[in-house]
Amino acid sequence: MVRCVCRFTLIGVLLLASACRVYDTPKATDGASSNIDAVISCTRDAEVRQTNPRFHNVDRCEGSYTIQGISYRCGRVGDVATKTYEFLNTLNQRARTRCEQLCRERGRGCEGSYRDASKCGFSVPTSRATMVGTKIVGCHPNCEGTAFIYCSLYHGSYFRIEDHLFEDMEPNCYCRRAR
């Protein structure tokens, strides 16, 4: 079995350029039905990761992080608006928790403050969700639907969280000495 792994760059409204490499996809060996042949998994549940730590002062507590989060699901087109809203709330909650943890880990007396995103940095409009799910990302037929429902805290990449994509982004996690 062969699958295509693509790197997507979003330009404008949703013009896409892709460069693909072909890899052999491993086959399931237990005979059970699985999504192992899917181009993407059916869901990604609020993965958050910090990027670009910025700590330049003498005080270990003073600085910031950019925390990116991604959630998606291949689902029903009727669920796009509500799921996108749920994704944003969950991403903000997990990013806030991660921010507080990162700042506490910097040293005794450090605390974190997270700035909530008021909307997704990128999401797929309802009118394009089925097209994106079927023609671009390849929602597997075993998923709950073929509409690609997506929300990220920053507009960077559909699937990857890489530091260089967020170098110029305004941080959303601020660490400081507790008052």
User: Is 86 a member of any domain?
Assistant: yes
Asked if pLDDT for residue 5 goes beyond 80, the answer is no
Report which secondary-structure segment, H or E, holds 94: helix 80-105
Length of the chain: 179
Mean pLDDT of the chain: 77
User: Is 150 a member of any domain?
Assistant: yes
User: Is 69 a member of any domain?
Assistant: yes
Q: What is the pLDDT of residue 162?
A: 67
User: Is 4 a member of any domain?
Assistant: no
User: Is 5 a member of any domain?
Assistant: no
75-124 per-position pLDDT tens digit: 999 999 999 999 999 999 999 999 999 999 999 999 999 999 999 999 99
User: Is 53 a member of any domain?
Assistant: yes
Whole-model pTM: value is: 0.74
CB-based contact 139:71 (threshold 8 Å)? no
The encoded tokens of residue 179 equal 């008052």
The encoded tokens of residue 30 equal 């237990």
User: Is 95 a member of any domain?
Assistant: yes
Cα distances from 37 to residues 72, 125, 143, 160, 178, in angstroms, run 18, 27, 12, 20, 49
User: Is 159 a member of any domain?
Assistant: yes
Cα distances from 59 to residues 30, 31, 89, 112, in angstroms, run 55, 57, 32, 14
Residue with tokens 């974190």: 112
Residue 27 half-sphere exposure toward CB, CA atoms < 13 A: 4
Asked if pLDDT for residue 23 goes beyond 50, the answer is no
The number of distinct structural domains making up the chain is 1
| Domain with 57 in it | 41-177
Q: What is the pLDDT of residue 160?
A: 62
What single letter denotes the amino acid at residue 108? R
